[in-house]
Structure 1
Amino acid sequence: MKIALYQMHVIPGKPEENIQKIDQWFDQLDEDIDIAVLPEMWNTSYRLKDLNELADNDGEVILPFLQKKAKALKKHIVAGSIAYKKDQEIYNRAIVINKEGSCINTYDKAHLVPMLNEHHYLTSGEKKPTVYKLDEVDMGTIICYDLRFPELSRSLALEDAKVIFVPAQWPKSRIDHWKALLRARAIENQVYVIACNSVGLCDENEFGGNSLVYGPDGTLMDNLYYEEDTLIVEIDFEKQEQIREAIPIFNSLRTDLY
């Protein structure tokens, strides 16, 4: 399976311009890409005070755009997350569109970042992320700060997820945490962790790039640095099965103790 990640410089507060950027990026992808991956909050960035005006109302702009693109390009889109408005509430919502153009999964970010006062502007999701299938492979998505709560990733692994996507706008100042936590989630769950961060500035916040992919044994397969760029990786599920057979951690779980 071949996957492309867009380490994007999101233009703060400019949803239309960000849609244009992504539209152009989609059209530049090679035909053999199976899944295209976007970062967190790519329609607005962290203009939290303006989200009531900027958020996509019930997905009426972005969902049709993504569905049309996925169907035309015959590619799955793990569409990061967007500022999504529903019944006067604003969510940080992850979206997955399959290559037939169907929205097959959504997830609202459960853990809101207290350092950014996200809880003043966003509504926390009330449901845990769930596994979805792309090309018959079980996968899941968590969002940025969710990475600091290992129980969430483990819940996906226990549903037999083979891949966990992590769209983010993770700060450059804590990029060492980003890399360490992603690797830990990969090793402890024996999954591919595919992390798509953004770059650039949103007011005083600088995002740290370093989009990357860790294999199910914690091997760094490839990564980017601090510029807008595309990362392309191929993942091998037969190798993953070999790793899980060699160290059968899920057979050793003590559900009677924890």
Structure 2
Amino acid sequence: MRLALAQLSIESAAVDDNVERAVSAIETAAEEGADCVALPEIFNVGYFAFESYERAAEPLGGETHRRIREAAIEHDVSVLAGTIVEDLAASADAGEAVPAESGLANTAVLFDADGKRRLVYRKHHLFGYDSAEAELLVPGDQLPTADLGGHTVGVTTCYDLRFPELYRRLVDDGATMVLVPSAWPYPRVEHWKLLPRARAVEDLLYVGAVNGSATFEDASLVGRSTVYDPWGTPLASSDDDATVVYADCDPDRVDEVREEFPALRDRR
């Protein structure tokens, strides 16, 4: 699988412009041979635009997902539609299974190249430090995986990186790759460099950590989207400017590393 991490320039609350940038990045990545494109956390609204969450919330299959799904089909590429702020009541009204009857969630959706929805992941660990996320959103309770491009793919979101038990659950479900849409801000650059790499090392799998490129009123994102291999070696990375990062992620490599270094078999 050729994985592309679309480190988007994100404007606070500029939903149409932000989604248009995402669609453009999907087209660019597909032209460069990507099989799967991952977008950042709350890429359409901007993570730190808390005052806009309720107004910009959408159900599953809403306008943002419609445009991303159409781009996936048009360009014949799988897309992790980063995350959006999901209106759970509207999703429930449409017949979707949701963790609460009402409220908002930080929700990732993975579309395949046919536009089929392969998984829905709602962020489990909501950030409360210097952030309104934990006050505004409802946590998820499901941890799905999907088979894609020879990989078993899982998704976690940003702050979830600090909770390694979540990744061990994904490993137990066969995951060979975890995609991590994020909105990681300064000054915690070293944490952003350390935690995805640690998850790759301890779980012997690929980690694609995709961040945004943005400056909000009270925060700036560190960028530095990176793909790590099952040894924790960075295969491709960026600085903090908007760009697309590419890496080839061979699913057989996961089996080779786990056979060579069988730490997962030594768990007690």
Normalised-by-shorter TM-score class: over 0.9
Q: Give, as a single letter, the amino acid of the residue that structure 1 aligns with 2:220.
A: E
Range that drifts further, 186-195 or 134-143: 134-143
The whole-number CA distance in structure 2 between the counterparts of 1:168 and 1:174 is: 13
Query: SS at 1:208's partner residue?
Result: coil
Moved more, 240-249 or 186-195: 240-249
Which residue identity lines up with residue 15 of structure 1 in the other structure? V
Match in the other structure for 2:66? 64
Q: Which runs of 5+ in 1 are unaligned?
A: none
Cα displacement (A) at 1:136: 3.9
Partner of 2:77: 75
Counterpart position of 1:121: 136
CA positional deviation for 1:143: 0.1
User: Of 50, 53, 63, which aligns to 1:48?
Assistant: 50
Partner letter of residue 158 of structure 2?
A: C
Match in the other structure for 2:93? none
Whole-angstrom distance in 2 between the partners of 1:209 and 1:163: 20
Match of 2:243 among 207, 211, 229: 229
Aligned match of 1:203:
217
Secondary structure of the residue aligned to 2:125 is coil
Q: Does 1:167 align with 2:181?
A: yes
Distance between the aligned counterparts of 1:200 and 1:247, measured in 2? 39
- Is the contact made by 1:49 and 1:121 (CA closer than 8 Å) also made in structure 2? no
TM-score, normalised via structure 2 length: 0.91
Give the drift of 1:105.
0.5
User: CA offset at residue 77 of structure 1?
Assistant: 0.4
Percentage identity across paired residues of the two chains:
28
CA distance in 2, matches of 1:236, 1:61: 33
Q: Secondary structure at the match of 1:140?
A: strand
Q: Deviations over 1:153-186 (max 9, x none)?
A: 1110111100011110001210101111111100
**Deviation above 4 Å: which 4+ runs of structure 1?**
none
Aligned-pair CA distance for 1:14: 1.3
Residue matched to 2:191: 177
Instruction: Letter of the 1:24 partner, please give it.
Output: S
After the TM superposition, which of the residue ranges 28-37 and 189-198 deviates more from structure 2? Answer: 28-37
Q: TM-score, normalised by structure 1?
A: 0.94
CA distance in 2, matches of 1:102, 1:157: 24
Give the C-alpha shift of residue 31 in structure 1: 5.5
**Number of aligned residues:** 253
Whole-angstrom CA distance in 1 between matches of 2:201 and 2:182 = 20
Deviation at 1:250, TM superposition (A): 2.1
Alpha-carbon separation, structure 2, partners of 1:177 and 1:26? 28
1:108 and 2:110 are equivalent in the alignment? no
Q: Deviations over 1:103-138 (max 9, x none)?
A: 11011111111110312111111x132111113421
Q: CA deviation at 1:21?
A: 1.2
RMSD: 1.3
Q: Secondary structure at the match of 1:201?
A: coil
User: Residue type of the partner of 1:160?
Assistant: G
Mapped pair 1:14 → 2:14:
yes
- What is the distance in 2 between the residues matched to 1:203 and 1:59? 30
The answer to whether the 8 Å contact 1:59/1:85 transfers is no
Q: Which runs of 5+ in 2 are unaligned?
A: 90-101
